[in-house]
Amino acid sequence: MTRGWIALAAMCSVAACRRPPQPGEPLRGLSAAERARFDSGKVVFDSAFTPEKGLGPLFNGRACASCHEDPVSGGVGEEVEHHATAFHPGGPGRACDELAALGGPVFQDSVTPLLRAALGIEKEPVPPQATAIAERTSPDIFGFGLLDAVPDSEILKYADPDDRNGDGISGRPNRFLDGRLGRFGRKAFVPTLREFNDGAFLAEIGITSPSVPDEGTVAGKPLPAGTDPAPDPELGAHSLELTDAFVRLLAPPAPLKQSSEARRGSAIFAQVGCAGCHVPTLRTGDNPIPALSHKEVAAYTDLLLHDMGPALADICFGLATPSEFRTEPLMGLRLATHFLHDGRAKTPEQAIQMHDGEGARARDMFEALPAADRAALLMFLKTL
Amino acid sequence: MHRVTLLSLASLIAPLALAAQQPTSPPAAQPTVPHDSVRGAIRAVDVRARTLEVTTGVGYALRVVRLQVPASVPITDRKGGSQGEPIKLAELKPGDVIRAAFGGRATGFVAYTIERVGRMESTP
């Protein structure tokens, strides 16, 4: 009898290991130490900061999980935040000014009571130098460690800035301020996941750290005295590392089992040209974490910039012009409740219909499909 | 043998230590030790005022570092495989990627060395 229970328990254990990761679960194959860092990092990710613990004085959320929360930590959020930049093409300098000297590019929508009392503001004012203000939704961040592990060369092999193959899709890389290849953010501006995470503590929560030790400004002006009582750094290096471990080791949601209709939709997805930008898989390179090393990641992105037409255009960022956006990864798409960079599309179908520029040809081919084929493609998207 | 080695080391170190104690007078505009370094994209160059603005940061947490550039500061070019040829401040342009060592002074940050290492372009 006991032997039977042991066998059953062993079978259940194996089955659990083989069960694809659910949203919020870690990558399969982590060591015990990696798993422990993931679990500890989730605690920091979920921790809500107060002004006494360093929150603000400008902030968008009180915790990482304030905006990445649905259905679990690391998921999507309903919040919309505001970025602003100035775009001056044809001038003597860089065409894009991220307004870093004036508090940009992230203009926080909340202030602490001390800052409100000192300045009488409810949010960081956007300076008149801005040429555009963008709304940004919070995407899920599942599988981002795998995106981070993709070598630059894997991304650059899809770049075709002069459209030499004549398919109407160019794709060009963005660069960070120091010249490195960017890949994170809706404009592919940030080179690494670690930098994205570390920067977000300040830009989103107002938390200083060893990576970003200075509190910043209010629209370019120094903080009024006494409005940020917590000593800097407000978060230690260990907490930063743990948070990064949690985000890095979050597994991408496994695609759902596909019906025959969805499988047909997958083929149509490629036939109409969606896969020209939404490249189905990327491959990671060498990585010190075995679970991230030499893996296929079904990200459905090329991590490059594409011109999406004037109707979607908003801010510039690095080399990205207002109408250029990074191909949005579609992994985990079924978890999203709104679509495109600012959430203006309520359904995947609306999002497709709003594609323009380099996406116009694929959009037109989608719209020209028989209804059953369109439905099959949308069914496929619901499995991601 | 051991004693000989120690004595040899001492004979080497002593002059260096003495030399280190000699009062030196570094160029007035330069800090003796880099206080910090920055790598980022030039936002603005004012040749007349001899200042640079460099945009840098971590993720979306960006900032602009303003540097005074005394005439004595070495500015070199390592862009595109260049071997560090000296260039003038006026040759630096917005969008150039530079690496600068600098120190803090009462008047602000003062550059110690500046290297142009690339340019913010899709193909730098």
Q: What is the pLDDT of residues B71-105, one digit of tens each?
A: 999 999 998 877 899 999 999 999 999 999 999 98
Residue pLDDT, tens place only, A342-366? 999 999 999 999 999 999 999 999 9
pLDDT of residue A207: 98
Give yes or no for a contact between A148 and A248, defined as CB atoms under 8 angstroms apart: yes
Mean pLDDT value across residues A234-255: 97
Q: Reduced to 3 states, what is the DSSP secondary structure of residue A101? A: helix
Of residues A381 and B107, the one with the higher pLDDT is A381
Residue A14 has pLDDT above 70, yes or no: no
pLDDT of residue B10: 38
Q: Reduced to 3 states, what is the DSSP secondary structure of residue A252? A: coil
Strand partners of residue B67: B52, B109
Q: Which residue has the tokens 């960006």?
A: B62
* Band of residue A3 on the pLDDT scale cut at 50, 70, 90: low
* Band of residue B124 on the pLDDT scale cut at 50, 70, 90: low
| CA-based nearest residue to A206, from A55, A52, A44, A46 | A55
Cβ neighbours around A194 below 10 Å, total: 20
Residue A6 has pLDDT above 90, yes or no: no
% of chain A at pLDDT higher than 70: 95
Residue pLDDT, tens place only, A292-311? 999 999 999 999 999 999 99
Q: What is the helix (H) or strand (E) element at residue A240, kind and residue range?
A: helix A237-249
Query: What's chain B's Rg over C-alpha atoms?
Result: 19
Residue pLDDT, tens place only, A276-295? 999 999 999 999 999 999 99
**Nearest C-alpha in A relative to B56:** A177
- Is A100's CB within 8 Å of B120's CB? no
Give yes or no for a contact between A184 and A210, defined as CB atoms under 8 angstroms apart: no
Residue B51 has pLDDT above 60, yes or no: yes
Of residues B18 and A233, the one with the higher pLDDT is A233
What does DSSP say about strands A132-138 and A77-87: parallel, antiparallel, or unpaired? antiparallel
Q: What is the helix (H) or strand (E) element at residue B46, kind and residue range?
A: strand B36-46
Residue A30 has pLDDT above 70, yes or no: yes
Residue B40 has pLDDT above 80, yes or no: yes
Identify which of B39, B57, B94 has the shortest CB distance to residue A199: B57
pLDDT of residue A93: 79
Mean pLDDT value across residues A314-329: 98
Determine contact: B90 vs chain A, CB below 8 A.
no
Mean pLDDT value across residues A5-33: 74
Give yes or no for a contact between A47 and A38, defined as CB atoms under 8 angstroms apart: no
CATH number of B36-119: 2.40.50.320
Identify which of B60, B95, B124 has the shortest CB distance to residue A94: B95
pLDDT of residue A91: 81
Q: Reduced to 3 states, what is the DSSP secondary structure of residue A132? A: strand
Give residues with Cβ within 8 angstroms of A72, minimum separation 6: A23, A24
Determine contact: A302 vs chain B, CB below 8 A.
no
Lowest mean pLDDT: which of A14-23, A264-273, A298-307? A14-23
Mean pLDDT value across residues A162-172: 91
Mean pLDDT value across residues A310-328: 98
Residue pLDDT, tens place only, A135-150? 999 999 999 999 999 9
Residue A2 has pLDDT above 80, yes or no: no
Q: What is the helix (H) or strand (E) element at residue A363, kind and residue range?
A: helix A360-367
User: Which candidate in B116, B120, B121, B123 is best for mutational testing of the A interface (most A CBs within 10 A)?
Assistant: B120
* Band of residue A231 on the pLDDT scale cut at 50, 70, 90: very high
* Band of residue B34 on the pLDDT scale cut at 50, 70, 90: low
Q: Which residues of B touch A105 (CB under 8 A)?
A: 60, 62
Residue pLDDT, tens place only, A44-95? 999 999 999 999 999 999 999 999 999 999 999 989 999 999 999 988 779 9
Work out the minimum CA distance from B54 to partner chain A, whole angstroms. Answer: 9
Domain boundaries, chain A: 32-161+183-249, 260-381
Residue B15 has pLDDT above 90, yes or no: no
Give backbone dihedrals phi and psi of B86, rounded to 5 degrees, phi first.
-65, 140
The mean pLDDT of chain B is 79
pLDDT of residue A7: 54
| CATH fold for domain A260-381 | Cytochrome Bc1 Complex; Chain D, domain 2 (1.10.760)
**Chain B, window 33-72: residues with a beta carbon less than 8 angstroms from a chain A beta carbon:** 39-41, 43-44, 53, 55-64
pLDDT of residue B8: 40
**Nearest C-alpha in B relative to A304:** B122
Lowest mean pLDDT: which of A180-189, B33-42, B108-117? B33-42
Mean pLDDT value across residues A11-28: 75
**Nearest C-alpha in B relative to A186:** B60
Mean pLDDT value across residues B52-60: 98
Buried residues in A291-325 as b, exposed as e (16+ CB within 10 A): bbeebebbbbbbbbbbbbbeebbbbbbbbbbbbbb
Residue A329 has pLDDT above 80, yes or no: yes
The mean pLDDT of chain A is 94
Lowest mean pLDDT: which of A206-220, B11-25, B97-111? B11-25
**Cα–Cα distance measured from residue A148 to residue A228, given in angstroms and rounded to the nearest whole number:** 33
